[in-house]
Each structure stands twice: as structure tokens, then as C-alpha cells.
Structure 1
Amino acid sequence: MAVELPTPVLQAAKTLWEYHHIYDPLAKADLIIGLGSYDLRVADHCAALFHQGLAPRILFTGKSGNWTGNLYESSEAEAFAHRAVNLGVPAVSILIEPHATNIGENIRFARSMAGEHIQRVIMVTKPQTQRRVRATADAQWPEVATLVTAPLTRFEDQPTTAYSLEGLINEMVGDVHRMRIYPIKGYQTAQSIPVSVADAFEFLVAKGYHHHL
């Protein structure tokens, strides 16, 4: 049964949800990069973009993370590739990077596999991790033009049987925290954090959504 949360918590969570969105306008690229996670809708979206002719290859990256340790029989990347093949993407058009355990590694390892002469990539991730992907790619793969997108999923539909609403909120709170500290470490570019987002972050931390800090 779905957990009903107080309206102020939901309002604060939706503020963070909107903040994390990027949804760049897309153009043809050299490579689609699908970041592994619990959310197979990302693989579906990668397949759809491939079939639209936006890139000739897909690279799926991911070993396991905070929420996928026991979700797939294989790595995230292999599970996503299997999904894409079932959706009609030729296996020969798919690269698999099965070792990354966080977004920084997703991008660094994908960069190493992508080869030379890559000028533009489309990075596909969950809706709520788009801003972190943007900030990380701009810091760690600056020579390539990166377009960031995600499935067009509603906030209410993002939780799954394997990933709760509480998990979603904790993740979004944690990523705002990373927006603050990772630029200092050189992991990400600095991101402007509006007052409304900072207030929602502090409110949710005070309400106990601090498990991904």
C-alpha cells in the first residue's frame, strides 16, 4: 500500500523534483549513454531515442548502487542492455560498462569506453538525477557537448515496488547536499540553488529525510 505523506512534505519534495530536472532539447549525437539504476524506464527511453535516429550507438553503464544490489541478476548495464535488445536495439549497437557504482564513475568509465572523435553525447538518467548528471559531466567530461534527458515520468509515478517514495525523497535531498559540497572537491560544476530549494532541503532534512547525505 502506498504511504500517504503530509502535504508539506510532498510540496517540499516536488520542489526538489522540479529543481533536479534538465530535459535539454535533443539533437543528433555520437552516442547515447544510459546510466544504470533501479529504473528500467531509462533503458526504454534510450531505446526510443535510438529508434528515432538520434545516435548510432548506446552505452549502458552501471554495476550496482544504493538501491540495486539485489534487484538484477546481472549488472545494471547488462540488465538495461537486455531490455534495449528486447525493444529492438541491435546488440551490436550496444556497449556495456558494468563496473561503475556512482554517477562520477558512470561518466568517467563511459568516457574511457567511448573512444575518440566523440563530440556530442545524450545522457539518459532518472528524472531526479538530471541536474547531478549535468554538473558531473560538465566537470569530468568538459570537452564533449552533453545533452541531459530522462523519461517523462510524473513525480507520483516515479516510485516503484523496488524503490519507495521515501527513498526518492532521501535521494533528492542527498543530491542537493552534493550540489553544495562536490564542486569544492572538483567532482561537479557549481549549481545555483534557489532559496525555495534550499528551504525545501532544510525542511526535509528536519523531517528525517537525511539518509542519503
Structure 2
Amino acid sequence: MTPHALQLIADYMMPAFPASRSDLGFLFGTRHGVDQFCEAAHALWQDGMFERLLVSGGPTAGQATAEADVIGERLLRLGVPESALILERDATNTGENVRFGRARVAEHMDLSAIRSVVVIGKLCSTRRYLMTLQRHWPGLRMSVCPVNYFGVPAERWHEHAEFRSRVLGEFGKIPDYLALDFLREIDGCAPYPQLTGWGTPS
């Protein structure tokens, strides 16, 4: 794969939406890099980037305990108050994170007052989070605090086996997800780049 193709993929899958003060923080559940995710969320809360944080994630990966509970407990230990947390414990995919999470937020906040969200999630999944929000919770001003737990700089994603696998795996699924209306393209962003022979970067 050419350097140009690698850059097109990186620009599309990991767009820059710098974190900004928002009406809501939204941490997408994970079993990977939990400490890094919680430290990022705690830092944003300390900086006043949000007052309420939605943590969405159910009992995934064969684990009985919901991702939201694991992350929530860690955030409490770091000093985020329980009153700041909204835990959604049933979602098992990104669409459910947004749909179930939105419903859970509605139990605690006036949805009409939420006009902006700062996303905390895996760097390699940035595009999917934003496109899923665009599909299931449109109209929000979106920003992102991407968490890179791979141990290499983002610009070297293609040199790290797991990082490369995750980015290319997600890149390959986007057209089907768009066709199924799981996702919507993000307003103002470049469309999906049409590449050939991108399966194995060199």
C-alpha cells in the first residue's frame, strides 16, 4: 500500500475533532485499555469539559459484569463523583451504545438541552463513533478525546499489528454499514475514499 493510501485511510478513520467543552461526555465501553480510558475521562472532567458523563457498555466478551460498571467503579476511585455518572449497562455494539445511551440520558437530563457531546473512545474507532452518533443522535456538535492504547504514535498505526488490523478492519466494514444504514456520513467531512488493493499495507 502506498503512503498516500495509508494517509487517506488514517485521515478518514481517525479524523481530528479536538475535545471541547460539551453538554455531555460519552464514554464508549471497552475491555481494552480501561485505565487509559478512565484517566482520559477523569482529566476531561477535572478540566470542566462536561458535568455529566454517559458510560455505555454491557456484558460483552463473555464477561458477566457490564463494561459500564467496570469503568464506572474505576472512575469513582479516580475521584469522579457518582452524581456525574450515567451508566448504561445493556449495549453490546456501537449502535446500541448510542440508542440505549440516549434513552438512559433522557432519564436524567433534558435531551433538548443537549446540543454537544465529547466522545471518549478508541482512536481506531473514531469514525465509527461519530458516524453512529450522526445516524442515531443527529444534530449534536461532536468532539473527540481519542484514546491510543497501542503504544505507538497515531501516524505509525500501520506499523503496529493490532493497531493496523483494527483500523483496516473498521475501514473495510464502513461501506456495508452505510448500506445497511447503521451509520451516516459526518457533515462537512470527506466521503469514504475509494481505494483498491488496500488489504495488506507494506
**Aligned residues: CA RMSD:** 3.0
> Normalising to structure 1: TM-score of the pair?
0.74
Task: Tell me if the contact between 1:29 and 1:122 (Cα under 8 Å) persists in the aligned partners.
Answer: yes
1:45 matches 2:40: yes
Q: Is 1:20 paired with 2:17?
A: no
| Residue 138 (1) aligns with residue 102 (2) | no
For residue 125 of structure 1, give the secondary structure of its aligned residue in structure 2: strand
Output aligned runs, 1:188-199, within 5 Å.
188-190=183-185, 192-195=191-194, 198-199=195-196
* Alpha-carbon distance in structure 1 between the residues aligned to 2:152 and 2:120: 20
Pick aligned residue for 1:93 from 84, 105, 127: 84
Q: Indicate conservation of the 8 Å contact 1:34/1:58, yes or no.
A: yes
**Mapping 1:39-78, distance limit 5 Å:** 39-40=33-34, 41-65=36-60, 68-70=61-63, 74-78=65-69
Q: Percent identity?
A: 23
Distance 1:46 1:100 in 2: 19
Contact 2:25/2:119 (<8 A) preserved: yes
Q: Which stretches in structure 2 are left out of the alignment for 5+ residues?
A: 155-159
The structure-2 alpha-carbon separation of the partners of 1:120 and 1:200, relative to structure 1 and needing over 3 Å to count, comes to farther
Q: Is 2:145 the counterpart of 1:149?
A: yes
Report the Cα distance in structure 2 between the residues aligned to 1:57 and 1:27, rounded to whole angstroms: 14
Taking a change above 3 Å as real, the CA distance of residues 166 and 52 of structure 1, as seen in their structure-2 partners, is same
Count how many residue pairs are aligned between Structure 1 and Structure 2.
186
TM-score by length of 2: 0.78
Q: Which structure 1 residue ranges, 5 or more long, are not aligned?
A: 1-7, 159-164, 208-213
Q: Who is 1:110 aligned against?
A: 101
* Residue 180 in structure 1 maps to residue 171 in structure 2: no
